[in-house]
Structure 1
Amino acid sequence: MSKEYQEKHIQDQIDEIINYVEEYKHDRNQNFTVKQLEKTKKKLETRIEKLNDDFKKDDVITFEELGVDKLFIDEAHNYKNLYLYTKMRNVAGIGQSEAFKSSDMFMKCRYMDEMTGAKGIVFATGTPVSNSMTELYTMQRYLQYESLKKNHLERFDSWASTFGETQSAFELSPEGTGYRVKTRFSKFYNLPELMSMFKEVADIQTADILNLPTPEAHYEVIKTLPSEEQKEILKSLSERADDVRNRVVEPDEDNMLKITNDGKKLALDQRLINPLLPDNPDSKVNVCVKNVFAIWDKTKEDRSTQLLFSDMSTPKGDSSFNIYDDIRDKLVDLGIPKEEIAFIHEANSDKQKDELFAKVRKGDVRILLGSTQKMGAGTNVQNKLIALHDLDVPWRPADVEQSKAVRLKALQIGLSQKLLT
């Protein structure tokens, strides 16, 4: 976008916040601080200053000069992290993270609305709401901003008080050792009215409506028990969490995200916390290795293939411990030829990836390991596929649904023979 349009767009946002602050400052019934609103305002002012200082000197064509009159956005959920300002405090479930690409998309949507009368944008996504209720508000800001303004719902707090409510409930603590009361923005209110408004811009097609043929997959959840070392480490995670909550440590030293990530590592394999710890024979990784070998041995004649998914501990190309090399070494020790096992990370180009997929389809490579990101959409290896194994779970619920859809799509051939573990 041109510098002039960006300045205008950002200034409009600043004016909105100023009006919002003034409105609530004069309302004596409201008892809260406006620090967060002022902080957002300051951030936008800094962005204008940066725009003036750093705007590209090159004389390039701007978005306006391209003459675009229709904007099609696939995988629109990738733009969910759009800024919002709110007076709510200590309420979970309100995503306030901001990505530049989302702010840029919002700016382009506003421009397209001005040029086309709100008829120039098409979003496509399978997960418009994936992680928090604020994402539906974000989608409405992109697609029907004028409708929100018409109904005085352009501010998040107005939208939230009309269509949502907070709930306090006991939930498992991040470190997994106890329960706590947490207030979340987690329940829709006036849902018929909200959906009626959203359907003005949304054509919603669910799996029940489409009724497409899907393979019959057998799901098997395999449970493993923690080792004594894992139990001890889990206690230390609980102590770290208490220190974070009590502000004994600085956020850059330790925080809940680090603790949760260490918990995920611990659940996958205790050696990811400390490589010197013993290799527990009943660990998740070792149980998976046994299952993979059993299926490989049972399907030798058909040369059936298997996919293993792990988003953590991917190979780094150095001598550090990782799950991928550990699994391959153990499968080779059990008798599987090394050339029949491959990592998706070994394919560094589209050509190499296509060649690898061709080997899997023919059964030359019978076991393929990869992450959801690298081995998700576009993985065309279904011809001889018999089993898929998930070693860890993604961070977000939407990722679980998307990975499930990708896996089911991969099972389209030989619908009733597949096993998903």
Structure 2
Amino acid sequence: MRNVGGIAQTEAQKSSDLFMKCRYLDEITGNRGVVFATGTPISNSMVEMYSVQRYLQYDTLARNGLQHFDSWASTFGETVTALELAPEGTNYRAKTRFAKFYNLPELMQMFREVADIQTADMLKLPVPKVNYHNIKTKPSQIQTEMVAGLAKRAEKVRARLVKPQSDNMLKITNDGRKLALDQRLIDPMLPDDPNSKVNACVDNVYRIWEGHADTKAAQLVFCDLSTPTNKKIIETQEVSENVFAMLPNQFDNVYDDMRKKLIQRGIPAEQVRFIHEATTDAQKKEMFAKVRSGEVRVLFGSTQKMGAGTNCQDRLIAIHNLDCPWKPS
């Protein structure tokens, strides 16, 4: 299957290594030596279903003549062509993806031979009620012009007018993500747009902090781009509010910028922390304990560092997501 989105055409060595180890364990244990545990068996593409089956029930696939991906795909999947937003974000294009299952009952019957599936409805775990709010912000004139520039770059890449080492779609997409977060990530000398996504988040964080001062409610802010470096974390811990006031226009990253603005509005510096300050599991536990006790009320972090194992929900009142990770699951 060529020119179909979501299907990699290259082979990864670590995947081949895992497959060989699984086959070896299957041979010496009678297909009982491998256990996978995951909350997201299919998180990015339908092809992942085939990959899991290939690891865990290769003999079953072989008996049914489905050990090759093309055979499996023609039996259980279908390609769908639909309009989707182009990477540069300025227009739409038709894209064919492997994105629809059929013969699903037969597929699930086979998959359940090796899978114990537990959904949220089955587990009935106590979870809080969530109210979602999508905050819309208008792009600045500078952002609008820069997006048009991304479109021109994409046209040159598609026309092969530039070398991949100089510019490519991945670079354009990454620049688009930066631009959507804050225009200063493209050029630190650009002005701070008061209506930007970052400033809208600062407004919301401060409003909630002020409105729940009596309960010391905590907030988490997720941002995967423009994270602070270790050097900047040390400097941030050492400087005071007066230093922030003397450098109002300095921009290094989104984390420090938002922390500076929150402190300037009146939030004590010790109540605004970064998960990046905790470099060990013990330090993370200590940080989470401070959030649960109300000592830290605003905690910044990325999906990688704060997306799992974050035990600080006792006083949690709000979670802010500034950007979308590559794998939302």
Query: What's the TM-score, normalizing by structure 2?
Result: 0.91
Aligned residue for 1:122, secondary structure, equals coil
Moved over 6 A (4+): none
Q: Which deviates more, 271-280 or 182-191? A: 182-191
Do the aligned partners of 2:184 and 2:251 also contact (CA within 8 Å) in 1? no
Deviations along 1:324-353, one digit per CA (max 9) or x if unpaired, are 000011011111111111111111222222
1:416 aligns with none
Match of 2:312 among 364, 378, 381: 381
> Could you list the per-position Cα deviations for residues 190-240 of structure 1 after superposition, in whole angstroms to 9, with x for gaps in the alignment?
212211111121121111222322211111111101100000000001111
Count of paired positions: 311
Identify the residue that residue 256 of structure 1 maps to in structure 2.
169
Residue 92 of structure 1 corresponds to which residue in structure 2? 5
- Structure 1 residues without counterparts, runs of 5 or longer: 1-87, 399-421
Q: Secondary structure at the match of 1:306?
A: strand
The answer to whether structure 1 residue 334 and structure 2 residue 247 are counterparts is no
Matching residue of 1:27: none
Aligned to 2:243: none
Query: Where do 1:203-282 residues align within 5 Å?
Result: 203-282=116-195
Deviates more, 1:136-145 or 1:181-190: 181-190
Equivalent in 53, 66, 76 of residue 140 of structure 1:
53
> What's 1:295 paired with?
208
1:272 alignment partner AA: L
2:216/2:315 contact within 8 Å kept: yes
1:237-270 CA-partner distances (Å, limit 9, x unpaired): 1111111111111222111111111111111101
Give the corresponding residue for 2:238. none
CA contact 2:54–2:67 (8 Å) conserved in 1 = yes
**Mapped partners of 1:320, 1:97: distance in 2:** 40
Query: What residue identity is the alignment partner of 2:90?
Result: T
Report the Cα distance in structure 2 between the residues aligned to 1:121 and 1:143, rounded to whole angstroms: 7
State the shift of 1:156 in Å: 0.8
For 1:166 and 1:354, the matched residues in 2 are separated by: 46
| Residue pair 1:95, 1:134 contacting (<8 A) in 2 also | no
Partner of 2:323: 392
In 2, the alpha carbon distance for the partners of 1:304 and 1:285 equals: 21
Match of 1:190 in 2: 103
Structure exhibiting the larger radius of gyration computed from Cα positions: 1
SS of residue paired to 1:276: coil
Q: Find the counterpart in structure 1 of residue 292 from structure 2.
A: 361
Query: What is the rounded CA distance, in whole Å, between the counterparts of 2:14 and 2:124 in structure 1?
Result: 35
1:47 maps to none
State the Cα distance separating 1:356 from its structure 2 match. 1.6
Cα offset, 1:158, TM superposition: 1.1
Residue 96 of structure 1 and its aligned partner are, at CA, apart by 3.9
- Quick one: which amino acid aligns to residue 227 of structure 2? T
Tell me which of 19, 22, 27 is aligned to 1:109: 22
**Contact preservation (8 Å) 2:182, 2:198:** yes
- The C-alpha deviation readout for 1:14-44, integer Å capped at 9, x for no partner, is xxxxxxxxxxxxxxxxxxxxxxxxxxxxxxx
